[in-house]
Amino acid sequence: MIGDVALRAVQRIRHEVDGGFALMPVENLPGRLVQRHGRGSHVIELEGVLYGDTAKDDLAALQDLARSGDEQVFTADIVTALDLGHVVVERFVAGQIAGHVDHYAYRLRLVESPELPEPATVGLGLGFGDLGFGDLGRSDLGLPDLGIDPSVLGDIADLAGDVAGAVDAAMDAVDTLQSLAAAAGGLAVGSPVQPLADEIGKLGQLADRASGAVAAVVSAFFEG
């Protein structure tokens, strides 16, 4: 049967399956290398004759089955040993036999229609624990100890903040100098450059400290 349609007067049933092998030539190897990419679909071919009072109705049922394209369950002795779930009618051919009233020959080609696997899911923010690695550290993964003192990185961050603050102060001093020069209008008001010089001196000292911290990090990464 195919679904709820009973096949009458089946004269021939043929089962075929492609093993899914690919033949690849290898230099100086007699024959071909055989590699399997997966089993092909089961194919069932049936041939038979419809006749008698129900021949037209049976023919119409098969035609409707082929036209719908729906998945069906196929049962027959030839597929008992197969893990065959659903099939679809890939091809249907029918012919009326001349000289015989209500006699119709038919041929069906059924192809296995397997179920699709569940779609893969991808989660965001996965850590070692989510991936089944537990509390593995760098040494557990075979990575070398780079000899980096984590406190050095904190010092660099602090120094970067100090440098940024000094730069802002220097810019404020420049603005002050420009304002004084405009207000003085050429009068002798002393040297307005001194505040700027002081701030730049502070900036230079902080830059030296930052350079020393960066050198320590570079040494730890590439020389340790």
Q: Label each residue of 145-174 as H, E or C.
A: CCCCCHHHHHHHHHHHHHHHHHHHHHHHHH
Helix axes 150-184 and 194-222, enclosed angle (nearest 10): 160
Using left for φ > 0, alpha for ψ between -120 and 50, and beta otherwise, residue 123 falls in: beta
Range with the lowest mean pLDDT among 108-112, 197-201, 217-221? 217-221
Residue 141 has pLDDT above 80, yes or no: no
Neighbours of 48 (CB within 10 A): 19
103-112/42-51 β-pairing: antiparallel
Report the b/e string of 175-210 with b at 16+ CB within 10 A. eebeeeeeeeeeeeeeebeebbeebeeebeebeeeb
Segment 212-220 shows an average pLDDT of 56
C-beta separation of 93 from 106 below 8 A: yes
Instruction: Using pLDDT thresholds of 50, 70 and 90, give the confidence band for residue 109.
Output: very high
> Does position 108 have pLDDT exceeding 90, yes or no?
yes
CB 25 within 8 A of CB 33: yes
Residues in contact with 158: Cβ distance below 8 Å, sequence separation at least 6, in sequence order: none
Question: Of 50-54, 87-91, 167-171, where does mean pLDDT reach its minimum?
Answer: 167-171
Higher pLDDT, residue 73 or 184: 73
Confidence of residue 222 (pLDDT cuts 50, 70, 90): very low
- Characterise 55 by phi-psi region: left (phi > 0), alpha (psi -120 to 50), beta (else): alpha
Give pLDDT, residue 217.
54
Place 7 in a pLDDT band, splitting at 50, 70 and 90: confident
Q: Best-predicted range by mean pLDDT among 85-89, 142-146, 158-162, 198-202?
A: 85-89
pTM (predicted TM-score): 0.49
Domain definitions of the chain by residue range: 10-24+33-112, 150-222
What are the pLDDT digits (tens) for 31-68? 888 888 888 889 999 999 998 888 999 899 999 989 99
β-strand partners of 17: 42
User: Can you give the pLDDT at residue 120?
Assistant: 73
Residue 84 has pLDDT above 80, yes or no: yes
> Residue 163: pLDDT above 60?
yes
Predicted local confidence at residue 1, as pLDDT: 84
Residue 112 burial (C-beta neighbours within 10 Å; 0-12, 13-18, 19+): buried
* Residue 107 binned pLDDT confidence (cut-offs 50, 70, 90): very high
